[in-house]
Amino acid sequence: MALRNLIPKPAIQARIKSMAREIEQALALGELDVLILLKGAFLFGSDLVRNLEKVQSVHFAQPKSYRGDAKTAGQLEWHGPQSLENKAPTILILDEILDTGATLARAKKEMQSSGFDRVLTAVLLRKNRSEPPVIEADFVGFEIPDHFVVGFGLDYGEKFRHLDGIFILEPEEALHDR
Ligand code: IMP
Ligand code: MG
């Protein structure tokens, strides 16, 4: 299986640090809660929260998406955080990649109906698709070309999440492997 390096570890670490500064400066935030979307954002989330100073609580949700075809998002099941008590005024939703935007749109809606005054979103990667996503993120780490990528939380059939960098899974190989 061919993996082509797209974003090396030091660039990811540097960008996560600068994103944390952007988030804090742009919004002059008070205390905030963070919602990490599993599984994909587990590494992005754990690195980003350690660079944010005013985190009150960290929550997790596990949305499950069933992929549609290349153009339409599949069905999405929401498995949200069990309890959101003693909320901060703001919640920051973290996902690893913005593709169709279906996941982030759903997460934002869920957090709005949970009663947060302000719901912000940050993604490590935003795919430059021909069809724009249904929602934009407030903070984006890297814009990437429309390729299937793995590593740093992103998987292909549950593989490659642990890789310390973002890699393009070469499409011929991906098809061959199915
Ligand atoms: P959405 O289409 O924006 O809702 O993205 C849904 C989910 O699809 C993401 O959170 C990822 O889990 C997955 N996904 C989208 N693009 C890729 C990719 O290039 N590699 C691995 N997973 C992806
Ligand atoms: Mg995801």
Q: What is the pLDDT of residues 122-132, one digit of tens each?
A: 999 999 999 99
Number of domains comprising the chain: 1
In a domain, 75, yes or no: yes
Q: Ligand 1 atom closest to Cα of 37?
A: 10
In a domain, 1, yes or no: no
Q: 118 is in which domain, residue-wise?
A: 10-147
Active site residues: 99
Percent of the chain with pLDDT over 90: 79
Whether pLDDT at 177 is above 60: no
Question: Taking the model in full, what pTM does it have?
Answer: 0.91
Q: Which ligand is closest in space to the CA of residue 101?
A: 1
Tally Cβ neighbours within 10 Å of residue 123.
29
Residues lying with their CB under 5 A of ligand 2, a single-atom ion: 40
CB 38 within 8 A of CB 95: no
Condensed to tens digits (0 to 9), the pLDDT of residues 27-81 reads 786 899 999 999 999 999 999 999 999 999 999 999 988 765 545 556 899 998 8
In a domain, 169, yes or no: no
In a domain, 40, yes or no: yes
Residue 158 makes CB contacts below 8 A (sequence gap 6+) with: none
In a domain, 60, yes or no: yes
Q: Which ligand is closest in space to the CA of residue 43?
A: 2
In a domain, 165, yes or no: no
Instruction: Give the pocket of ligand 1 (CB within 6 Å).
Output: 40, 65, 73, 95-103, 148-150, 154
CATH at residue 52: 3.40.50.2020
